Amino acid sequence: MKPLDHKRLVITGAASGIGRATSLLAAAEGAYVVAVDLADGVLETVREIRTTGGNAVAMQADVSDENAIAGCIDRCLSEFGGLDGVYANAGIGGAGKPFADMTAADWQRTLAVNTIGVFLAFKQAIPHLTRQGSGALLATASVAGLRANAGGVDYSASKAAVISIVQTMAYQLYGTGVRVNAICPGLIETGMTEGAFERARERGTSDRIGQVNPTRRAGQPIEIAQMACFLLSDRASYVNGQAIPVDGGLSASLPWVFPRA
Ligand SMILES: NC(=O)c1ccc[n+]([C@@H]2O[C@H](COP(=O)([O-])OP(=O)(O)OC[C@H]3O[C@@H](n4cnc5c(N)ncnc54)[C@H](O)[C@@H]3O)[C@@H](O)[C@H]2O)c1
């Protein structure tokens, strides 16, 4: 028996990075996956899953559009006969501007995808999960939602809100059998961060990436996917209302510089 056998999952942001790695691993662990993304790459993710004998369908949808995300949940019900979990992972890096240059429209875009996108996916899933009396809701927050210095003000606030959503919703779903958690990744090499990795390669400073965490490197999408698949599975049956850092130890520390010998 595989850890996610027969789990019917909706995974957003599945075209790239963490969402793609989680879709591939979940399918390999026995799940039926509705892979959701705005980008065409979601078709390639599903093609790869099917090539290796897994079950998946693709939906091109904007997670900030309630009707579109409702359609993805419906597709899981019609295609796979039910719903057992949602991983609301799609996200954007934010406006990337100093806060004084940011506009309200910049904020609204970041919050629409990173925060309201999570809320809408959870909201659309909850009636099905509570009726069945079991299910797992999972979101990707960030270490930027825990501490300063890992993103812009809009991005960091959008991720702090995701942490609050999972903590608050776990209590609002008291006694329903539905668990709600978030993962807080550190620096992971994905589409979102590829510019930083490329620039470091060009400058010959790749070996400096990730040096501020005690594991002394950046993470790979599979290292988040492994935690995601655990939290979506019944092996995590007593994990609820948590925002779990997967960051090489970055968030464990206060800023500190090694003294020179
Ligand atoms: N890469 C990191 O270092 C890092 C660190 C902490 C948190 N995260 C979070 O991880 C999550 C996944 O990002 P990633 O790093 O894999 O980046 P990525 O860019 O590789 O993947 C993000 C995916 O989300 C999709 N997406 C964006 N907006 C969407 C929308 N409105 N509707 C549907 N799909 C949309 C993109 O098309 C893309 O395929 C994000 O929530 C991100 O904020 C990433």
- Give every strand in the sheet of 85-88, ordered side by side: 55-60, 32-37, 8-12, 85-88, 135-140, 178-185, 243-246
Domain presence at residue 245? no
Q: Are 38 and 89 in contact (CB under 8 A)?
A: no
**pLDDT class for 259, splitting at 50, 70, 90?**
confident
Q: What is the pLDDT of residue 107?
A: 98
Domain-located, residue 256: no
The conformation of residue 66, written as its DSSP 8-state character, comes to H
Is 255 within a domain?
Answer: no
Output the CA 188–ligand 1 centroid distance in Å: 11
155 counts as catalytic: yes
**Confidence (pLDDT) at 256:** 72
Is 76 part of any domain? yes
Total Cβ atoms within 10 A of residue 182: 26
The chain-wide mean pLDDT, for the chain, equals: 97
What is the number of alpha carbons within 13 Å of residue 191 lying toward its C-beta?
A: 14
For residue 172, how many other CB atoms are within 10 A of its CB? 10
> 58 in a domain, yes or no?
yes
Asked whether 39 and 65 are in contact (CB, 8 A), the reply is no
Identify the domain containing residue 122 by its residue range: 8-237
Residue of minimum CA distance from atom 2 in ligand 1: 188
Please write the tens of the pLDDT for every residue from 24-48: 999 999 999 999 999 999 999 999 9
Rounded to an integer, what distance in angstroms lies between the CA atom of residue 129 and that of residue 134? 6
pLDDT at 255 over 80: no
Q: Which atom of ligand 1 is nearest to the CA of 18?
A: 16
- Give domain status of residue 250, yes or no: no
CATH number (domain holding residue 218): 3.40.50.720
Asked, for residue 243, whether it belongs to a domain, the answer is no
Q: 36: closest CA among 83, 4, 3?
A: 83
What is the pLDDT, as a whole number, of residue 232? 98
Q: Is residue 259 part of a domain?
A: no
Residue 100 Cα to ligand 1 middle (Å): 25
124 close to ligand 1 (CB < 6 Angstrom): no
What's the structural domain count of the chain? 1
19-28, 67-76, 205-214: least confident range: 205-214
Q: pLDDT tens-digit profile of 92-113?
A: 999 999 999 999 999 999 999 9
Helix axes 17-28, 221-232, angle to 10 degrees: 50
Q: What average pLDDT does range 140-154 have in this prediction?
A: 96
117 within 8 A of 12, measured Cβ to Cβ? yes
User: From atom 30 of ligand 1, which residue's Cα is the shortest distance away?
Assistant: 62
Tokens encoding 132: 């069945």
Answer yes or no: is the C-beta of 15 below 6 A from any ligand 1 atom.
yes
Global confidence as pTM = 0.98
User: Does the beta carbon of 187 lie inside 6 Å of ligand 1?
Assistant: yes
| Residue 171 pLDDT exceeds 80 | yes
